[in-house]
């Protein structure tokens, strides 16, 4: 079974992934980590970003300076869209390859839980045709998410505002999901909900 889990920053995705890995031995694929792999020198994402943003975003060792990249993109919404339109298809292709590799390594044909996590989502499911068996949206009220982001990551209100403004609206997440999991309370309640689903 392949599940796509998504939700906004502070919704509890990291805790959910840890639980699924420990309890169900799930293979976890994180979209952010996949994107970072693509940004390594010699990879397609690296070349695409360097071509769009120029050598100003390179460190002395020719790796991407993600801080400089973030500073440039923070100021330019049009450029963010350009980068995303190039990088996102690469990320989904790489994730699809990882899913296939995990399935191919499962020579005993045992039931394997594969979980893909991402904060950003495509406009519709057509872009992900056939990749996932279920789409789970982990939802938490904005007030709860803000509190978690301040406590766990030390984010300021301005940082949180910036993050939330760049993420999809709740209605967009709901439109894509098969299963909506509310996560406004204790971690133990989240575990119970997940056990009920699996």
Please give the annotated binding residues for ATP, written as ranges.
Answer: 10-15
The mean per-residue pLDDT over the stretch 91-120 comes to: 88
pLDDT value of residue 109: 65
CA distance 2 to 57: 36
CA neighbours closer than 13 Å in the CB half-sphere of residue 198:
22
> Tokens 């790796």 label which residue?
63
| Torsion-angle region of 42 (φ positive above 0: left; ψ -120 to 50: alpha; else: beta) | left
Residue 122 tokens read as 């495509």
- pLDDT tens per residue, range 158-185: 989 988 888 888 999 999 999 999 999 9
| Residues 113 and 22 sit within 8 Å (Cβ to Cβ) | no
| 186 pLDDT more than 80 | yes
Per-residue pLDDT for 135 more than 80? yes
Domains of the chain, with CATH numbers?
1-26+113-198 (3.40.50.300), 31-111 (3.40.50.300)
Instruction: Return the minimum-mean-pLDDT range out of 26-35, 119-128, 172-181.
Output: 119-128
Q: Do residues 137 and 173 lie in contact, with contact meaning Cβ atoms separated by under 8 Å?
A: yes
For the segment 32-68, what is each residue's pLDDT rounded down to a tens digit? Answer: 999 999 999 999 999 999 999 999 999 999 999 988 8
Average pLDDT, the chain: 91
**Binding-site annotation: residue ranges:** 10-15
Q: How far is residue 35's CA from residue 93's CA, in Å, rounded to a whole number? A: 11
């Amino acid at each position: 079974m392949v599940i796509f889990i998504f939700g906004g920053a502070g919704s509890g995705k990291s805790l959910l992934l840890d639980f699924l890995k420990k309890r169900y031995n799930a293979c976890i694929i994180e979209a952010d980590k996949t994107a970072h792999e693509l940004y390594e020198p010699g990879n397609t994402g690296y070349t695409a970003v360097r071509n769009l943003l120029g050598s100003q975003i390179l460190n002395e060792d020719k790796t991407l300076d993600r801080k400089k990249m973030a500073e440039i993109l923070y100021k330019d919404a049009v450029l963010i869209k350009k980068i995303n339109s190039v990088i996102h298809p690469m990320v989904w292709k790489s994730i699809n390859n990882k899913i296939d590799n995990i399935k191919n390594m499962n020579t005993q044909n045992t039931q394997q839980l594969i979980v893909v996590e991402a904060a950003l989502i495509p406009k519709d499911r057509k872009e992900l045709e056939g990749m996932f068996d279920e789409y789970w949206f982990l939802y938490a009220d904005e007030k709860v998410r803000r509190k978690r982001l301040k406590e766990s990551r030390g984010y300021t209100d301005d940082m949180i505002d910036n993050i939330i403004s760049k993420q999809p609206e709740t209605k967009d997440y709901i439109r894509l999901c098969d299963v909506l999991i509310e996560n406004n309370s204790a971690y133990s309640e989240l575990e119970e909900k997940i056990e009920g689903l699996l």
